[in-house]
Structure 1
Amino acid sequence: MKDKRIYGMFGPKIKAMRMERGLRQRHLAELLGTDMPMYSKMELGARRVRRDMIPKLAELYKVNEHELTTLWLADAVYATLKSEEKTLQLDAIDLAKEYFKADESL
């Protein structure tokens, strides 16, 4: 069976946090203003969690919002580069780091 994940890390993280607390997907979907099938896809990494959901998730799970946002952004990078050749993926990430370093010096 083909891996349907588009996004790599955020979905499994929110699933683990939900399961640790014994919550149901339906309950989380309701709190986030989405439906249960959509929330399930988010946990599976088949759909992207909206950025405006991150503060709600951080508050609900009492975790650092910055860490969740970092993970969410990393998923965006992963989704963009996932289908590229490994060397190209890593070269693109290295170049992006250089761009951010250059921005800091301006």
Structure 2
Amino acid sequence: MFGPKIKSMRLEQGLKQRQLAELLETDMPMYSKMELGARRVRRDQVPKLAELYKVDVKELMKLWLADGVYAILKEEDETLRLNAIDLAKEYFLANEGM
């Protein structure tokens, strides 16, 4: 989810992968893997991307987090995945404000 999103934003802006690799202080092959979803963008790189593309950092962070959850759960049985997500949601709601 996150990789294709940053690729589409890059293409909309007419930027080269090389430019984004420099911004994120990585090399071009690594950045290419980020766009393909083969490597995760680091958390500290998300605000840099949001600033560059002039998008809400929280919206981009939400997509980044969802991508991480998906990466962890994608190999699990569907029922187990959904139950784990429900349980995590319950936990967050129960611990709100702590």
TM-score, normalised relative to structure 1: 0.89
TM-score, normalised relative to structure 2: 0.96
CA distance in 2, matches of 1:34, 1:105: 37
* 1:99 lines up with 2:70 in the alignment: no
Percentage of pairs with the same residue? 76
The residue aligned with 1:90 is: 82
Corresponding residue SS for 2:95: helix
CA distance in 2, matches of 1:104, 1:69: 19
* Deviation string, structure 1 residues 41-98 (Cα, Å, up to 9, x no partner): 0000000000110111000000000011111111111011010011111111011000
Mind listing any 5+ residue stretches in structure 1 that lack a counterpart?
Answer: 1-8
AA aligned to 1:58 is A
The residue aligned with 1:36 is: 28
CA distance in 2, matches of 1:15, 1:89: 28
The residue aligned with 2:9 is: 17
Q: How many residues align?
A: 98
Q: What is the root-mean-square deviation of aligned Cα atoms in Å? A: 1.0
